[in-house]
């Protein structure tokens, strides 16, 4: 397990004042952050503006030293055993960074294998296996500059696995990729966690991707931890309310207070939002109406309302559940709102 214990990072910057004088200023990028990443777990790291995600990943990757606090990897302190930890971690970035374009795919893996101190026979064995695993065997000896975006990103994954790390930090791994290739990479990430037991930290602007993959999510705001929970619970806690829609015929305004009374009797909150015609002639009894109700559980409410609609002679022509997602929750947090 990786453990961050009250980790902070303060940058010292200089601001020029006139021609000959400058003033030192301190900027807190990360403030007393505690988090864990267990083996076989996919953890999301999301942030609002100036969140400190990049700084956090750089500290975990041993590229930056914390100003205060401690980082441990499998009980080993980063402060005193940096080289040992470097063998246990690796980073995969999105876009087309962290590769040498004039080298072939195989040469890239050989180069990074040497940086990790692997023996030549081990590098050749691992490179061949990884190229096969990411589907680049046929293109192994082509220069990377001839690769497509998807091929480059698959090579990024192979490069990130060359030292067989226990922990992977994925920074926007599907950035700029077509949907089918992004789906394939998500499948690979899931396989690395579930089948190979690797602990994974994922940052992504594609919140559906985070919602799909992550067991837990940390949300940072200006370097401070705002929330940590499962994606589902964060959505429920922040965005909360769902909306149940029932399309019916046979509606009359006399039913509105009866429906409100029925909703008030629920053991969980349910409030009528509207019951409006979706047709043209509001005087006809067979005109379709949409009943919309806000509730924590839209699917459950729809099921429980079916007997009531039958009792009052309503004919259901359709129903739908409108549920908030992680993107809705992050937007609300960025606006300082909470349902």
Same-domain check for residues 65 and 24: yes
Quote the CA–CA distance of 288 and 218 in Å, as a whole number: 44
Q: What is the pLDDT of residues 290-311, one digit of tens each?
A: 999 988 888 888 888 899 999 9
Q: Per-residue DSSP letters for 236-294?
A: HHHT--EEEEEEEES--TTHHHHHHHHHHTSSS--EEEEEEE-SS-TT-TTS-EEEEEE
**Residue 332 contacts residue 338 (beta carbons within 8 Å):** yes
Q: Mean of the pLDDT values across residues 163-170?
A: 94
Same domain, yes or no: 113 and 138:
yes
Judgement on whether residues 176 and 38 belong to the same structural domain of the protein: yes
Whether the per-residue pLDDT at 282 is higher than 70: the answer is no
Last residue of a domain, one of 198, 222, 237: 237
Domain residues for the domain of 83 are 2-237
Our count of domains for the chain comes to: 2
Kindly report the pTM of this predicted structure. 0.80
Q: Is 56 found in the same domain as 201?
A: yes
* Per-residue pLDDT tens over the stretch 1-17: 999 999 999 998 777 77
The last residue of one of the domains, among 198, 216, 237, is 237
3-state SS, residue 270: coil
Residues 289 and 174 in one domain: no
List the beta bridge partners of residue 169: 91, 201
């Amino acid at each position: 397990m990786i453990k961050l214990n009250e980790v902070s990072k303060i940058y010292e910057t200089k601001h020029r004042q006139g021609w000959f004088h400058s003033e030192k200023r301190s900027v807190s990028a990360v403030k007393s952050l505690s988090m864990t990443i267990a083996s076989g777990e996919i953890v999301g790291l999301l942030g609002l503006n100036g969140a400190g995600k990049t700084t956090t990943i750089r500290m975990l990757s041993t590229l930056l030293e914390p100003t205060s606090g401690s980082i441990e990897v499998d009980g080993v302190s980063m402060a005193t055993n940096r080289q040992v930890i470097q063998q246990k971690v690796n980073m995969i970035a999105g876009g087309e960074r962290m590769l040498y374009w004039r080298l072939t795919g195989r040469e890239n893996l050989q180069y990074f294998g040497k940086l990790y101190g692997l023996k030549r026979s081990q590098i050749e064995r691992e490179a061949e296996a990884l190229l096969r695993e990411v589907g680049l065997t046929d293109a192994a000896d082509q220069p990377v500059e001839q690769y497509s975006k998807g091929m480059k990103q698959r090579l990024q994954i192979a490069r990130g696995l060359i030292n067989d790390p226990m922990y992977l930090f994925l920074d926007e791994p599907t950035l700029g990729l077509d949907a089918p290739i992004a789906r394939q990479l998500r499948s690979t990430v899931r396989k690395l966690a579930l089948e190979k037991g690797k602990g994974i930290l994922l940052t992504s602007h594609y919140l559906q991707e985070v919602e799909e993959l992550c067991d837990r999510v940390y949300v940072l705001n200006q370097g401070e931890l705002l929330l940590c929970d499962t994606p589902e619970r964060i959505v429920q806690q922040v965005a909360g309310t769902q909306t149940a829609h029932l399309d019916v015929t046979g509606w009359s305004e006399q039913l509105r207070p009866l429906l409100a009374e029925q909703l008030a009797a629920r053991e969980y909150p349910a409030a009528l939002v509207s019951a409006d015609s979706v047709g043209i002639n509001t005087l006809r009894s067979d005109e379709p109406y949409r009943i919309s109700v806000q509730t924590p559980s839209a699917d459950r409410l729809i099921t429980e309302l079916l007997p009531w609609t039958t009792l009052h002679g309503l004919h259901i022509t359709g129903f739908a559940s409108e549920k908030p997602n992680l993107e809705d929750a992050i937007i609300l947090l960025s606006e300082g709102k909470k349902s």
